[in-house]
A and B are shown apart, each in its own frame.
Chain A
């Protein structure tokens, strides 16, 4: 357990001190700010589109952050050490995913209300949107870990990771966006069925994704 917490802590510190947290949150805002230029500044239209746009931009931010997950540790040799410590590689994946979630995902989630304000989001729809994002977050992080681990032995693999992970993200996006769009149309009431499906995906990812990601790490470490 000590090792697990130490790994998680290290990942958070590296992301924070390396400036990745700031960069990824900046990316989220840049993408959101570009939307009114592309779609036109009409507030009614933006209000209509806000939940879906926020979901898509969140997803793209997470996709961009994925090459930070294992790449640095792999390149400087830390990953070889992590394969030797008395903690299974599956648990290493969980620890790093948890660190990734705390260091990069939570700041993104914290930025969502402010980003929503820029898109004139309906305040009543915000809790449902946040709830759907929280329910889907573990799935996004852990599915991303698979893609990041698969692309590990390739230099400059960011684009490949995006291609590998994007199809896996589509179901999460579909249910996430549909639940928050539903909340918009019926005055903020939460669509619990979609939230439950998102939570189910997250739970399934928690059990299955570490197996796949650890197998991919073993391939890269060989």
Chain B
């Protein structure tokens, strides 16, 4: 089993072969993402108004999946960086670079929708609560990661430096996740991923889960597109420099 994983991973270390796989997966993945998102949006439109929050509760169906994606994308970059550094897997660096702006935008969406939701519910756009602060810090880690990639000219150097930063910055991920449990704050604790029954009524839970799946597929589709772009860009650069074929 372990050997197979290793073999598959080694096979796709060649960006050329990865490119072929990506081209096959590209259209079905996008189709699936758009389909699930459309279904999710339809389900959200059928959700009854909350008896306390009214129709503002619908912000949740964008806010919560975006926040999940903010953490998911960072974890993705973390594992890609570890793979790239330890197993010297070149596609790992490409995956990290491709996912970073997408993760940053999801983080921003989570912050903005949270702010729009917080205004009517808490009466303020922003509070310095542990969850909000740690997500803001996460955004800055994303920005630092992107800036490091852009600032270092040598591609190999930039890749390894950014991977080290991604691993160092990962200490923030558990802080974001557990901030609501460790500090009793204004932001409510997790109500879906609990070991006991979710604290959310089924009318709200199922549309939320479908939206979460849709956002995940969207993230993967966007990342795959950007990875293809990145490989093509490297190839173009290599051809321009007259160097070895990448």
Residues of chain A at the chain B interface (Cβ within 8 Å): 146, 150-151, 153-154, 157, 160, 163-164, 166-168, 170-171, 174, 212, 215-216, 219-220, 222
1/0 contact string of B227-241 vs chain A (CB within 8 Å): 000000000000000
CB nearest neighbor in A for B139: A167
- Indicate whether A163 sits within 8 Å of B143 (C-beta atoms), given known contacts A168-B168, A171-B175, A212-B168: yes
Which residues of chain B are near A168, meaning CB under 8 Å? Answer: 168-169
Asked if B26 is at the interface (CB within 8 A of a chain A CB), the reply is no
Q: How many residues of B contact A (CB 8 A)?
A: 23
Contacts of B133 in A (CB 8 A): 170, 174
For the complex with contacts A150-B164, A219-B161, 16 further pairs of A-B residues with Cβ separation under 8 Å are: A146-B168, A151-B151, A153-B154, A154-B152, A157-B151, A163-B140, A163-B147, A164-B144, A164-B147, A164-B148, A164-B165, A170-B133, A171-B175, A212-B168, A216-B161, A219-B160
Q: How far is the CA of A219 from the CA of B152 in the complex (A)?
A: 11
Which residues of the partner chain B approach A220 to less than 8 Å between Cβ atoms? 157, 161
Given A157-B151, A167-B172, A212-B167 contact (CB < 8 Å): yes
CB distance from B232 to the nearest CB of A (A): 25
B residues sitting closer than 8 Å to A (CB atoms) are 133, 137-138, 140-141, 143-144, 147-148, 151-152, 154, 156-157, 160-161, 164-165, 167-169, 172, 175
Binding site secondary structure of chain B: helix
Contacts of A170 in B (CB 8 A): 133, 137
**Which residues on the B side are within 8 Å of A154 (C-beta)?**
151-152
- Please name all residues of chain A whose beta carbon is closer than 8 Å to the beta carbon of B138 when the two chains form the complex: 167
Question: What is the minimal beta-carbon distance from B196 to any residue of chain A, in angstroms?
Answer: 30
B157 contact from A157, A160, A222, Cβ within 8 A: A222
Q: Are A153 and B152 in contact (CB under 8 A)?
A: yes
When chains A and B are docked, how far (Å) is the Cα of A120 from the Cα of B143? 37
A215 to B160, CA, bound (A): 9
If the complex has contacts A167-B172, A170-B137, A219-B157, are A212 and B164 also in contact, measured as CB distance less than 8 A? yes
Q: In the bound complex, do residue B161 and residue A150 qualify as a contact, i.e. CB atoms below 8 Å apart?
A: yes
| Closest-CB distance, A10 to chain B (whole angstroms) | 26
Point out the residues of chain A lying under 8 angstroms from B165, CB to CB. 150, 164
Contact A150 B137 (CB under 8 A): no
User: In the bound complex, how far is the Cα of B157 from the Cα of A153, in angstroms?
Assistant: 8
Chain B residues within an 8 Å CB radius of A151: 148, 151
A150 to B140 alpha-carbon distance, docked (Å): 16
Contact of A163 among B144, B154, B157, B175 (CB under 8 A): B144
Please measure, in the bound complex, the distance between the C-alpha atom of A166 and the C-alpha atom of B165, giving whole angstroms. 13
Bound form: Cα–Cα A150–B156 in Å: 13
For the complex of A and B, the 10 pairs showing the least CB-CB separation, nearest first, are: A219-B160, A164-B144, A167-B140, A167-B137, A154-B151, A167-B141, A163-B144, A219-B161, A150-B161, A170-B137
Q: Which residues of A contact B167 (CB under 8 A)?
A: 212
Tell me the bound Cα distance from A160 to B152 in angstroms.
11
Residues of B within 8 A of A160 (CB): 144, 147-148, 151
Q: Could you tell me the distance in whole angstroms from the C-beta of A150 to the nearest C-beta in chain B?
A: 5
A-B contact pairs, 9 of them (CB 8 A): A150-B161, A151-B148, A151-B151, A157-B151, A160-B144, A160-B147, A167-B137, A212-B167, A212-B168
Closest Cβ–Cβ distance, residue B227 to chain A (whole Å): 22
Measured between alpha carbons, how far is A134 from B200 in the docked complex, in Å? 46
